[in-house]
Structure 1
Amino acid sequence: MQGVAVLSNEERINAVRHFNRFMTRQIGALREGLLHSPYSLTESRILFEIANNDNLTASKLIHELGLDAGYLSRILARFEEKGLIYKERSAADARQRILKLTPEGAKAFSQLNERSYNEIAELLGELPESEQEQLVNAMKTVEGLLGKKESLKYSGPYFLRQHEPGDMGWVVRQHGISYSKEYGWDESFEALVSQIAADFINNFNPKRERCWIAEMNGEIVGSIFVVEGDEYMAKLRLLIVDPKARGLGLGSQLVEECINFSRRTGYKKLVLWTNSVLKEARHIYQKKGFKLVNEEKHHSFGQDLIGETWELSL
C-alpha cells in the first residue's frame, strides 16, 4: 500500500494561495461592490460587526478584523458622513465611544445580510445534501486549524480618529508634561502649543486641514495636525506619542496619515519645524522622505536649542 505523498513547503504555500484566490472569486470579493451593493467586502464586514455587537469600539474592531488603524478611521468617517453610524459614549467608561448603526445604517446592513443569506443558500442548493455536509465540515476544519492564534498578526492596538471637543486640552497638557519631563522645557512651550491648538480650532478648514487623535484602550495616546500654509504648502504640527504607546509604530502611522491627506488635498509640499534634540521624531521624518533644509540656533523654552525646518515634496 502506497503512502500519502508529502507536499513540499512551496507546494503547501501555493495550495493555500490557490484556495484563497478560489474563495475570493466564489464570494465576489473582487467586485467593486459586494453583493451588488455600494460597499466593499471590508465595509460590509464592518457594518456586520457593528450590527451584531452591542459594545463595539473602534479599538475592538481593529483587533477583531486585523485592520490598519488609519484605514478603519477613514471608513468610519465615511460611514458617519453618510449617516450610517454614530458614536455613543459608554455608560461603563465615558472614555469609550460605542459604534452604533443609525436607522439608515440598519437598513443598509439588513439588505446586505439578506442578499448574503440568499446567495449562500443558492450556492449550497446546487450541491447534494451529503456534499453540503462535507463542505461545512471541511470549513470547520480550516477554521479550527487557523483559529488557534489568539490575536491577528496585523491587528493594531490603537485607533485613529478626527478631533472632538476636549481633545485639545489633552494635546496641550501632554506636550507640557512630556517635554518638561524629557527635555526640561519650561511652561512657555505649553503656552506655544496652546496657541497653535487655539488657532487650529478658530480657523479650522475641514477641506484643507486635519487633526488625528490616537486612542488605545479608551485613552488618548497621540496626536498630529496638518495645517494649511498656503495653496500649495501644508504644515505638519504637534506630533506627540504618549510613552505608554511608543514602540508600536504609532508615530510613523500618524506621519503617514499626514502625508497621504496632504497629497489627496492637492498640496505640493509638506513642511515641519522641530528641534535637533527630538531624535525619535527626526528619525521618523527622515524615514518618510523629509529633507532637512534649514538649521538655526535659538534660546526658547528655557533651553539653548537648534531649530530645524524639514520639507517633503509631495
Structure 2
Amino acid sequence: MTATQIASIRRFNRSWTEVTALLDDSYLHSGLTLPEARLVYEITQRSPQPVVELRGRLQLDPGYTTRLLDRLAERGLLTRTVDPDDRRRQLVAVTDAGREVAAQLASRADSQVAELLDPLGPADRGALVTALDTVVGLLFRESEPEVTIRTARIGELGWVLTRHAEIYEAEYGWPGFEAAVAAIVADLLGRSEQSRVWVAERAGRLVGSIAYVAEDAGTARLRLLLVEPAARGQRLGVRLVEECVAYARAAGHARLVLHTQDALTAARAIYAKTGFTLDRTSREDSLDPNGLAEHWVLELG
C-alpha cells in the first residue's frame, strides 16, 4: 500500500468520526459514550451471554470492560449473574430499560444516516452504498455469514430492478439501461408461469439475482444476473448461474441462451466457466453505445 492510499483512508476515518459525532461524550444524545452504546447493542443481540465472549469479540481490555459494565448496570440497563454451567464465568443480560435504550439508539442512528444522505440524489446514494458494500466485502469478507439462494418473493423484483439500475449507473452509466431492465422485469411478471427468479440473501439482505424464462419448448433464456459489489469474488455469480442452468435442464430444455455486453468481463468469465460459448456479437441491440452485445448459448443435451 502506498503512502497516498494510507493517507486517503485515514482522512476518511477522521471525516466519518466528525460527521457522525463519534467522539461526543453523549453518543446520539443518549447519555452514553460510544463504547457504552456499543456494549448495549451487542448485549441486546444475544442476552444473556458470557462476559468473556463479549470482551473477546470486541477486543476490549478486561478492566476497561468491567468499568463499562459497572456504569451500565448502575443505570439499570443490564444485569450480571454467575453462569450456572460454569461458575467461573459471568453472564450479562439486557434489561427492559436496556432494550428501550437500544431501540432509541437504532432509531436515532437511522435518522442520522437519512439526514446525511438527504442532500444526495438517487444515483449518488446508490454509488455510495455500492462503495461501502465494496469496503465491507474487501476488508471483512471472512466474517460474512453464509449466502443462500432462494426463489424471489413478492416485491423483490422491485429490488432487482432498483439495484440493476443503481449499480450499472454507478459503474457504466449506459443510457436507457434502467428502461431495458424494467422491460425485462415486466416481461417476467407477465409470464410468471414460464419464468422463475432467484435471489441471493445474506443475513437478511439481498446480494444477488438471476432469472429464467422459457422462450419455447427447446430454448430458455437466462436473465438479470447481478452480484452486489460487496459479494463479488466469492463464486456467488457461478452459483447463481448454476442454479438457473440446473432448473432449465430439469425443465427439459435443449439449450439455454443469454444476452450480455462485451464490457462485462466478470460476467462473461462466469458464463464461460459454466459451459456457455459465444454464439455471435451485434451492435444494434447493444446497451452500451460504445460496445457490442454478445449472445451466448449453452447446449443442455
TM-score (norm 2): 0.50
Shift in alpha-carbon separation, 1:199–1:299, aligned structure 2, 3 A:
closer
- Indicate yes or no: 2:148 matched with 1:166: no
Q: CA deviation at 1:282?
A: 0.2
Aligned pairs for 1:68-87 (under 5 A) are none
Residue of structure 1 in register with 2:268 after alignment: 282
The one of 164, 168, 181 aligned to 2:170: 181
User: Among residues 226, 230, 236, which one is paired with 2:212 in the alignment?
Assistant: 226
Match for residue 204 of structure 1 among 171, 192, 199: 192
Aligned pair in 2 of structure 1 residues 274, 299: CA closer, same or farther (>3 Å)?
closer
Partners of 1:213 and 1:222 within 8 A in 2: yes
TM-superposed deviation, 1:273: 0.5
Equivalent residue runs for 1:217-256 within 5 Å: 217-256=203-242
Contact in 2 for aligned 1:298/1:304 (Cα 8 Å): no
Q: Say which SS state the counterpart of residue 289 (structure 1) adopts.
A: coil
Post-superposition CA distance 1:3-62 (Å, at most 9, x none): xxxxxxxxxxxxxxxxxxxxxxxxxxxxxxxxxxxxxxxxxxxxxxxxxxxxxxxxxxxx
Select between 190-199 and 268-277 the one with higher mean Cα deviation: 190-199
Helix, strand or coil at the partner of 1:305: coil
Aligned mates of 1:281, 1:213 — CA distance in 2: 17
Q: Would you say the 8 A contact 2:259–2:295 is kept in 1? A: yes
* Runs of 4+ residues deviating >2 angstroms: 297-303
Deviation at 1:176, TM superposition (A): 0.7
- Amino acid of the structure 1 residue aligned with 2:189: I
Deviations 1:123-153 (A, max 9, x none): xxxxxxxxxxxxxxxxxxxxxxxxxxxxxx9
Paired with 1:248 and 1:290, the residues of 2 have a C-alpha distance of 20
Q: Is the 1:299–1:305 Cα contact (8 Å) retained in structure 2?
A: no
Contact 2:218/2:252 (CA < 8 Å) preserved in 1? yes
| Structure 2, unaligned runs of 5 or more | 1-102, 107-141
- The Cα shift of 1:219 comes to 0.8
Q: Say if 1:302 and 1:251 are closer, same or farther in 2 by CA, change over 3 A.
A: closer
- CA distance in 2 between counterparts of 1:300 and 1:294 reads 12
5 Å matches for 1:1-314?
157-186=146-175, 188-205=176-193, 208-298=194-284, 301=287, 303-314=289-300
CA shift digits 1:182-203 (9 cap, x unpaired): 11212x1111111111111121
| Alpha-carbon RMSD | 2.2
**Structure 1 equivalent of residue 74 of structure 2:** none
Partner Cα distance (2:212, 2:273) in 1: 19
**Whole-Å separation in 2 of the counterparts to 1:299 and 1:268:** 25
The answer to whether the 8 Å contact 2:145/2:202 transfers is no
In structure 2, C-alpha distance between the alignment counterparts of 1:284 and 1:294, rounded to whole Å? 17
Q: Secondary structure at the match of 1:303?
A: coil
Write the distance in 2 (CA, Å) between the matches of 1:276 and 1:300: 9
The residue matched to 1:177 in structure 2 has which SS?
A: helix
Q: CA deviation at 1:300?
A: 5.1
Cα distance per residue 1:140-167 (max 9 Å; x no partner): xxxxxxxxxxxxx9x9711111111211
Report the Cα offset of residue 209 of structure 1: 2.7
SS at match of 1:238: strand
Aligned equivalents of 2:218 and 2:245: distance in 1? Answer: 13
Partner-residue secondary structure (3-state), 1:184: coil
Aligned equivalents of 1:299, 1:293: Cα separation in 2: 15
The number of residue pairs the alignment matches comes to: 160
Paired with 1:263 and 1:299, the residues of 2 have a C-alpha distance of 27
Higher RCO, 1 or 2 (CA under 8 Å, sep at least 6)?
A: 1
Distance between the aligned counterparts of 1:248 and 1:299, measured in 2? 31
